[in-house]
Amino acid sequence: MPPFLATPLTLLLGALALLLPLLLARAAGLRLEGALAAPANLVALLVFAVGIGFAAFLWWLASRSFALLRDPATTPTQIAALRDLPMGLPEGTVRALLALIVGIIGLPLLLFSQALALNDAVAGYVNGIIAGVFGYYFGARSTTPDAQTTRRLTEALATEQRQNLALREAPDPARVEGMAAQLERQLGVARTILTQLGPALPAGILPPQAATMIEAAERALGAARTTGNATEAGLQAALGALTGAGGPFAALLRAAAPALPLAAGGPLGAAALVLGVGWNLGAGAWRRFRARLLEAPLDPALFEPGAITPASAELRLAQAPIFARLFTRRLEEPGFLATLLDHCLRPDAAALLWARYPGFANPEEAAQGLAEFRAALLDEAVARDVTPEALARAASGLSAATPALRAAPDATLLTPVAAPPEARAALEGLTLLLAQLRETDTDPLPLLAEITP
């Protein structure tokens, strides 16, 4: 059947359905003319017909609403908007139907009140009802545009808020990439500490859960780098574990802090300053700086030719108790200090001192005196290497770190002090970590800015 015939055929069938009861009554021999002649019966029939008509109209509207709900193209936002409407129908539909019912039934009653033998009181009631319903309907219609505008603005604002919330909750690719890069840096440091330094460190310096932290960080970083399914929460959790107070890097800093002077900002400031200064030194200066931190047997190659003058050697000799006791009286001898300095910088210096310079109680005392003199010479060389500019640059680089890791540009903070063996071992581990960072060209200052020990 052509679509344009569907609506007329539906109306025709509806009219036949209304006439069907009358036709059936005639076929049964019932005479309805007399019954319909009474005004009251006619009004009742009119009310019944109007009710049936409006019920059918409401059923048609509801069926269209349900069809809209079943349509796959209907969005959740549209469904939510329909849920707020009365009976799921367009706004004002129910109010208009009520007004039409009162008007279609009430106006004929009022106009034909004398023919229907209605008294003045009933006619007054009908008039009041009609006036009240129409007054409310048209009064509401006059304010509806403002209400609709307000509602639409409210809905638009709520939609925008939901979209903003969704954008905040959605992972930002740039932020996820930044967190993954930060996690990769911290993971590299944690691996170095655990695998290369951990076996040589005393028990209790590194946290027992360090291996678990590293495994979790590797999983989160792998998800970000390979599948792209990493969440900010997963990356943040792994990063927080490595950079927090329980992470391997922070634990090593805390363990090494007692082997250095106390900084004004806290015990960790000197350890952070050691990393900053050591990173900024040149190759030769770094070797001397590392030798002083490790307090290992000194290599004469650390001292550059011509860097030690007789005047500076005389001053350092006064700081070596054994040499000062034996050689102070001989400093006036021509060439003595230069010869002594030459012997002290040779690989077999301890044996030469014992063989050529009387006064040592035994070879061990000669070796001890040599170590004291070389340490004094090394202190002088490191003092020349660590310039005020290098200290200021390192302290400035720590300005982005947490206050516990900041320190003043004070060279005295770089000199190791007497400390328990565990602290000495941790300082040696920190020095070896800095050496590894220098080899891989990894600046420790951004790493320090990311941790919260």
pLDDT of residue 213: 92
Report mean pLDDT in 10-residue bins for the chain, 453 residues.
61 64 63 55 66 72 73 72 65 71 69 66 70 66 56 66 60 76 91 92 92 90 70 84 92 93 83 93 91 80 75 86 91 88 88 92 92 88 90 90 90 89 93 93 92 88
Structure tokens belonging to residue 396? 């400035």
Q: How many CB atoms lie within 10 A of CB 47?
A: 14
pLDDT in tens, 293-336: 888 777 777 877 677 877 888 888 889 999 999 999 888 888 88
pLDDT of residue 256: 93
pLDDT of residue 172: 64
Model-level pTM greater than 0.75? Answer: no
Cα 17 to the center of its chain, rounded Å:
69
pLDDT of residue 281: 92
pLDDT of residue 279: 93
pLDDT in tens, 50-100: 777 777 777 777 777 777 777 777 777 766 666 666 666 666 676 777 777
pLDDT of residue 366: 92
